[in-house]
Amino acid sequence: MAGKPKLYYFDGRGKMESVRWLLAAAGVEFEEEFLETREQYEKLLQDGSLLFQQVPMVEIDGMKMVQTRAILSYIAGKYNLYGKDLKERALIDMYVGGTDDLMGFLLVFPFLSAEDKEKQRAFVVQKATSRYFPAYEKVLKDHGHDFLVGNNFSWADVHLLEAILMIEEKKSDVLSGFPQLQAFKARISSIPTIKKFLEPGSQRKPISDDKYVETVRRVLRMYYDMKAN
């Protein structure tokens, strides 16, 4: 019997958080090794575990997988969260790609100055409410089902809920003009595996703090300042 997937990353959200979400949605238990020192990172490099010399890295089914999108695609396919046919898979890829674009604006957030954080917050909320949320509102309305693709729970639903909750951390009433998304959020949050992941004590990570930023900078030797878009 294969062991639990093992995730190698920092003790924070970053690019690994979507992997945690998807595994949790699939009801899969996983282990984590948190990078805290440069020596840990260099050991992974020396062992040849990081194909492109970067994390996230996930050990699963005898593979050491890097590249976040590849990891997520594999998990989605393995646990039946990737549609029933090629057409549904294409739609899932399209919706996940859009959500990825939106979430990408949040990745730099912990590394910004206080002034730039406020600018980025406004930028993210504007993009969400003028471009991305209207698109998903229309998809849900036109589709007429509980989920984004077909009539089954998929990776696209997990990814969109993760994004919604992250944007709500920046503006709590961001869904006020989107009734379809409000209902979607309630439905997906009530799925047992998701509900469990949203409860205190799960492996879901909180908003990244200064300790996370300092650890990432030290381990990856990031000494430059990241700017807002």
Q: Which residues make up the CATH 1.20.1050.10 domain(s) of the chain?
A: 86-190
- We find that the CATH architecture of domain 86-190 is Up-down Bundle (1.20)
Fold of 6-79+199-220: Glutaredoxin (3.40.30)
Q: How do residues 15-65 score in pLDDT, each as one tens digit?
A: 999 999 999 999 999 999 999 999 999 999 999 999 999 999 999 999 999
Question: Does pLDDT of 162 surpass 80?
Answer: yes
Q: Which residues make up the CATH 3.40.30.10 domain(s) of the chain?
A: 6-79+199-220
Kindly report the pTM of this predicted structure.
0.94
Note whether 177 and 128 are within 8 A (CB).
no
Mean pLDDT of the chain: 94
For the residues 66-83, what does the mean pLDDT come to? 98
Q: Which one, of 127, 125, 104, lies nearest residue 226 by Cα? A: 104
